[in-house]
Amino acid sequence: MPPFGPIKRKDLVRYFAQLGFEGPYSGGKHQFMVKGDITLRIPNPHHTDIGRELLLRILHQAGISRDAWEKL
């Protein structure tokens, strides 16, 4: 089960791949992942983990509930 933040970027990408997203692809300032008509910007690698607030915003953009995320 993935944690609900903080989470490492590489783990975030791995979990979204499990959910059917493809990528990450390069584009502009941020990489992105795609699933159908949904395009998610993935945060650049930072020295720290991705926090809960940012994770919540990314999940909202992807149309994934917190419960669905925690059931992975």
pLDDT in tens, 11-57: 999 999 999 999 999 988 889 999 999 999 988 776 788 888 999 99
69: alpha, beta or left? (left if phi > 0; alpha if psi -120 to 50): alpha
Q: Please, which pLDDT band fits residue 2 given cuts at 50, 70 and 90?
A: low
Cα–chain-centroid distance for residue 39?
Answer: 11
What class has domain 9-70?
alpha beta
**Amino acid 17: pLDDT:** 95
